[in-house]
Amino acid sequence: MSVILDLTRIVQTAADAESPSAQVSVIVDSIQQYLGLDVCSLYLADERGDMALLASHGLNLGSVGGIRIPAGKGLVGLVAQSRHPINIADAAQHPAFYSIRETKEERYSSFFGVPIVRGGVVIGVLVAQSKEARELSAEESAVLVTLGSQLALVVSTESIWQEINHSTAPVLTGIKGAPGIGIGLVRLCDEDDLYSVSDGQCRDIDAALQEWQELVKTVLADVKREQAGLSELLSQDVAAVFDAYCLLLSDPSLVNGVSQLIRDGVHLPGALKKVIHQHADVFLAMDDPYLRARHEDIRHLGNKLYSAWRGLRATGSEELPTTRTVLVGSQVSVSDIARIPSEYLAGIVCFQGSNLSHTAVLANALGVPAVMGVGEIRGLYNQDELVVDGNTAKVIVRPTPSVLVEYEQILKAQQQLKGELQELRDLPAQTVDGTKICLYANSGLLADISPGLQAGAEGLGLYRTEIPFMVSETFPSEEEQLAVYRQILEAYDTKPVHMRVLDIGGDKPLPYFPIREENPALGWRGIRFCLDNSSLFMSQIRAMLRASEGRENLRIMLPMVGNTSEIIEFHTLLDDAITQLAEEGIHVLRPPVGIMVEVPSAISQLRSWRHLLDFISIGSNDLSQYLLALDRNNPRVARSYDHVHPAVLHEIARVIEIAQSTDLPFSVCGEMSSDPIAVLLLLGLGVRTLSMSAAQLPKIKWLLRQISIDNAKAIVEEALLLNDAMHIRKLVADRLYVLGAGEILW
């Protein structure tokens, strides 16, 4: 156990170093000291594959930074090529030995080299040497091999080369939060961290309880003021993101939870920390990315309450920016966003967070470029210039004049495109040769409804009914579900609304109905969960049918279907529900029923299911993951995930062929529908109905109006002959530029 702790300490110390050069120095010094060897050196691969000596404890310090071993040369090159450790007692006698006089390494006999591999690519080599002619022991070798694998996750190759090349424009990569280009001056958001509060005792319980009640009222007033300030910039429902904070501040489990801890003798900030931590952990433990991101919102609220308690509540008297501003912080809050006049808010950069946080949601709604999860940016100060590239999830710190000019040109072109997109709302989504494409919106919350309608959506292609279940403390009653479903159906009037039945269980467990499985992706979820809980399922079906009374726009969609019996059992439940309601005097039309094609086994059964289905929707996210056996949210394998992978395209082509030959209406839902490259391929394959987030709908409509079906068919024929997703993307991107639609890729 001590060895593990020691290795962890070395890696953590390196990760905490103030600069890339300090980082590599810490690595070699710590390893040399820990193992007691004469030399420890770190080589890093440059863009040509040559190995540069970046740090060494033992070799001639004058050679560090200036020595490069050509790719494939010497023992270092052999380690990199073989991707395997080399352990020899007398290095000079090895055929691959490559002498570099400047390092004076001839004084050392033994050589042990271990490759540092990230994402399947050798990024460097860690070398240990000693004067004694001996092979390293098994224990010493194991330590270095383990360190090599861990250092691959710590060493920032981009930052190191930028420092070596004296670059004035460090480039950081994060997660796409909101698209677009933003250029402005940094405004650091230094939010108080509630989690750093130490435990303490409450000396005056009655006074603390009164203070807590006043604190909740104060922050609630703040939130409402901020919401009012943004109400003119956002649709009413998107601005209702702030309602989530209001609901939390009114939640008895939060308010009473803090009060009870105060009564138990815990001081107010400590009680607040414990309750916020408990609430956030409930969401953080969820596998569903959308719900997991909600823990960020709860932490934001906790920090806001803590700041107010410390007397740091914004009074509105702070100096407002008068130039383009980029908000930067660990987790930029919606309150930070609300304080900046919209005309000056150029971008948002978060050290932490995801593309599903409320920060990203608001950034998308405001049209502000945002990059999330870039990690802490050391050496960044207020008024530093920053480029935020939300299209590629990159942040450029203190850009050079030439870089700035390039991005200013891109920004100008995007602003022109944005103006064109705003004019498309009431125009049809059709290709240049007149082929009509139906564009639906996706939704999971009432706050998502207005944006879809405002963007010109022709209906809801996917309404995720599980969200109300997952944010509730108990199973919602039939009446509670009825109220939600009725609002959705009424909002879209005569336009079709495809309601997906509960997709819970397995990877999306309910807080009040925990499910523990070793492999949740292949477990008790979707239609499997619903049919096994028929009483709960019947309540949902009845609520959907009752909400559709007097309307004809309800469509019911089943997730994760893989067996015939699942569809038949659902039809039986649907028949029973219609009969029950008729006996109660509620007469409803039988809605069309379809499935999500996301389980690969469904594809080969579609022909035999035709008489059981009224439509299908290809769920591109899950279908791609199951076909590729890749979790797109797992950073270790996410780089290999791509929904334009040849296997995915060929299977979608097979689904489309079956649907067309059996006259089965079909659509595509998921990230493919908002990826311009994928959309062009889908169009060529025969897809005429797409469902996507409301924010992406204008962009896709613009793309459709720039191309023809013949162009799309010709491109997809070429693409299907390729056997690599990267080559397919390049092919389609090149064709889009030729067709004059390349700017959609920015």
Tell me the pLDDT tens digit for each residue of 469-483.
Answer: 765 667 888 998 999
pLDDT of the residue at 316: 43
d(CA 583, CA 419): 54
**Cα Rg for the chain, rounded, in angstroms?**
29
Of the pLDDT bands very low, low, confident and very high (cuts 50, 70, 90), residue 681 is very high
Of the pLDDT bands very low, low, confident and very high (cuts 50, 70, 90), residue 513 is low
Q: What is the DSSP string of 208-232?
A: HHHHHHHHHHHHHHHHHHHHHHHTT
**pLDDT exceeds cutoff 50 at 317:** no
**H helix intervals, 368-435:** 401-422
What is the pairing mode between strands 345-350 and 51-57? unpaired
Given a contact cutoff of 8 angstroms between Cβ atoms, the answer to whether 380 and 186 are in contact is yes
171-410 CATH: 3.50.30.10
pLDDT of the residue at 337: 81
Mean pLDDT of 406-431: 78
What is the pairing mode between strands 666-669 and 689-692? parallel
pLDDT 10s digits, 699-721? 899 999 999 999 999 999 999 99
**pLDDT exceeds cutoff 90 at 517:** no
Q: What is the DSSP string of 39-108?
A: EEEEEEE-TTSPEEEEEEESS-GGGTTT-EEPTT-HHHHHHHHHTS-EEES-GGGSTT----GGGTGGG-
Tally of CB atoms within 10 A around 368 = 24
Length of the chain: 746
Residue for token digits 């495109």? 417
Tokens standing for residue 556 = 């019911």
Work out the percent of the chain whose per-residue pLDDT is above 90.
31
Most confident of 117-121, 281-285, 523-527, 740-744: 523-527
Given a contact cutoff of 8 angstroms between Cβ atoms, the answer to whether 333 and 304 are in contact is yes
d(CA 139, CA 129): 15
pLDDT of the residue at 235: 47
**Higher pLDDT pick, 240 / 594:** 594
Of the pLDDT bands very low, low, confident and very high (cuts 50, 70, 90), residue 45 is confident
Mean pLDDT of 504-530: 71
Amino acid at the residue 486: R
pLDDT 10s digits, 568-584? 999 999 999 999 999 99
pLDDT of the residue at 494: 93
Residue 629's nearest CA partner among 653, 616, 652, 647 is 647
d(CA 79, CA 413): 47
pLDDT of the residue at 278: 80
- Most distant CA pair in the chain, distance: 96
pLDDT of the residue at 268: 87
2-164 CATH: 3.30.450.40
Residue 303 has φ and ψ, to the nearest 5°, of -65, -35
Given a contact cutoff of 8 angstroms between Cβ atoms, the answer to whether 378 and 351 are in contact is no
**pLDDT exceeds cutoff 50 at 236:** no
Lowest average pLDDT, out of 154-158, 163-167, 301-305, 386-390, goes to: 163-167
Q: What is the DSSP string of 677-741?
A: HHHHHHHHHT--EEEE-GGGHHHHHHHHTT--HHHHHHHHHHHTT---HHHHHHHHHHHHHHTT-
Residue 665's nearest CA partner among 488, 464, 438, 443 is 438
What's the chain's average pLDDT? 82
What are the boundaries of each domain within the chain?
2-164, 171-410, 423-745
Of the pLDDT bands very low, low, confident and very high (cuts 50, 70, 90), residue 204 is confident
Secondary structure in 3-state letters for 594-643: EEEECCHHHHHHHHHHHHHCCEEEEEHHHHHHHHHCCCCCCCCCHHHCCC
Tally of CB atoms within 10 A around 512 = 12
Mean pLDDT of 156-178: 67
**Higher pLDDT pick, 8 / 113:** 113
pLDDT of the residue at 1: 43
pLDDT of the residue at 315: 42
pLDDT of the residue at 98: 81
**pLDDT exceeds cutoff 70 at 604:** yes
* H helix count then E strand count, the chain: 28, 22
Lowest average pLDDT, out of 154-158, 204-208, 643-647, goes to: 154-158
Most confident of 14-23, 378-387, 516-525: 378-387
What 3-state DSSP class applies to 177? strand
pLDDT of the residue at 237: 43
**pLDDT exceeds cutoff 70 at 634:** no
pLDDT of the residue at 651: 97
Residue for token digits 């740090």? 55
> What DSSP element (H or E) covers 394?
strand 394-397
Mean pLDDT of 201-226: 83
Which residues form the catalytic set?
358, 669
Tally of CB atoms within 10 A around 474 = 11
pLDDT of the residue at 59: 77
Mean pLDDT of 25-40: 82
d(CA 380, CA 351): 12
* Positive or negative: CA dihedral 232, 234, 240, 245: negative
Given a contact cutoff of 8 angstroms between Cβ atoms, the answer to whether 490 and 549 are in contact is no
Work out the percent of the chain whose per-residue pLDDT is above 70.
80
Residue 580's nearest CA partner among 539, 527, 529, 533 is 539
Fold identical between 171-410 and 423-745?
A: no
Given a contact cutoff of 8 angstroms between Cβ atoms, the answer to whether 679 and 732 are in contact is no
- List of residues 6+ apart from 403 with CB closer than 8 A: 169, 387, 396
Instruction: Name the CATH topology of 423-745.
Output: TIM Barrel (3.20.20)
Most confident of 210-214, 272-276, 373-377, 619-623: 619-623
**pLDDT exceeds cutoff 50 at 12:** yes
pLDDT of the residue at 472: 62
Given a contact cutoff of 8 angstroms between Cβ atoms, the answer to whether 180 and 387 are in contact is no
**pLDDT exceeds cutoff 90 at 680:** yes
